[in-house]
Amino acid sequence: MTKRVFFSVGEPSGDQHAARLIKHLDRDYPEIDTVGFGGPAMQSAGCDLHLDLTQHAVVGLLEVLPKLRDFFRFADQAERVFQSGNIDAVVLVDFPGFNWHIAKRAKRYGIPVYYYCPPQLWAWGGWRVRKMRRLIDHVLAVLPVEQEFFTRHGVPSTYVGHPFFDAVADSQLDTHLLSRFSQATNAGQQLVAVLPGSRTHEVHRTWPVMLESIRRLCVTQPQAKFLVAAYRDRHCLWCREQLTSDDAKLPIEFYVDRTSEIIEASRCAMMVSGSVSLELMARRTPASVAYRVGRLLYAFAKMVVQTDSITLPNLMTDRKVFPEFVSVGSPEPAIDFFTDSTTAFLQDEFYYRQAVHQIEDLCREHAGGGATAKAANWIGQMVQSKGQDNQEGLRRGAA
């Protein structure tokens, strides 16, 4: 009998994680069909996509408010699917502000809800764990600290590992592009990855800062070459449009969907805070990490954030393996931060080797693979057992 699992995924990175999970389910549990909200990667993996939710990824109250009507409409759309009685489980991936509503609607119809890549309640907003207990049947934790936190607060949880490490291990890199990058390195150039973010607002806030830093670095580091890894075509186009006629000779190259190759080939990186930091960790590429926020969001975060880091690898250890900076107000401090930290990675060989060594230590402890297979196996078995329980209940009723 065919089973159906509804996915709700709102972040571009979550789209990639869910797509790999769906491929594993399709291979190992062919009786399970996947439907729901997500992105293009999930659709390519075989999910019957009802909505590209990744187009609506937002962060912060001020960005959510204009889209509230849309999000409620999307949640109502999901509820109509749940009403059909054809959904055996719901899998949420990140995007908690919206996914709470999906969970609430699923529970109205007795559908079990599982959270993969759950919200980081252990880092901030810990009071929401009560909502987690009420709406979520089980958490598939991707970090040890998550499993410990949720178990301690009465939320059933299983640690499966982080899927980003699977993505790195499974990725097929463009060998032709890597060869070209290698030729540049052999010719004496030092490649710097520039990762302006996967969300439009991140790109718009941070790329101007990165660009100004690149301008300054080109004066003091003539051997440096900057490889910009854009997530979407429109992001790449917008970044290009910010260059002036004076920037015509800057050693910058723009790429779309070549983040992995760029990280693999580069000596170091400058990046917006995000889960891609785990790929930098897995590929042993040191990076400076910044995030620009508005004053209102920063003031709110100061009240609720329970960690002293914005970078996932740094949260796995008691050291700042990746230098990081939260930028509020004037962009000048962030420009200085990117400029100074990148200069150190390019010029100070001892500092650079020390950073790589710390990343390697972190990888040995936390970067084991197999997270996606573990999560898919857990979900597949739960969906199968639900079906068997339902059939047993029907047999008892008939008797």
Which domains does the chain carry? 3-161+370-398 (3.40.50.2000), 168-366 (3.40.50.2000)
Amino acid at the residue 102: I
Give the pLDDT confidence of 258-284 residue by residue, as tens digits.
Answer: 999 999 999 999 999 888 999 999 999
pLDDT at 394: 28
Return the beta strands (E) in 171-259 as ranges.
190-195, 224-230, 252-256
Question: Which residues of the chain have a pLDDT value below 70?
Answer: 57-68, 124-125, 297-307, 387-399
Assign 286 to helix, strand or coil: coil
Separation CA 110–CA 124 (nearest Å):
29
pLDDT at 388: 57
The alpha-helical segments, DSSP class H, found in 59-199 are 61-64, 68-83, 96-108, 129-135, 144-152, 163-170, 175-186
Residues 6+ apart with CB under 8 A from 302: none
* Cβ atoms 118, 137 nearer than 8 A: no
Amino acid at the residue 67: K
- Backbone φ and ψ of 220, nearest 5°: -95, -20
Assign 121 to helix, strand or coil: coil
Assign 188 to helix, strand or coil: coil
* Cβ atoms 282, 363 nearer than 8 A: yes
Decide the pairing of beta strands 89-93 and 48-52: unpaired
Amino acid at the residue 273: S
pLDDT at 74: 94
pLDDT at 104: 97
Q: Which of 323, 260, 259 has its CA nearest to residue 290? A: 323
pLDDT at 299: 63
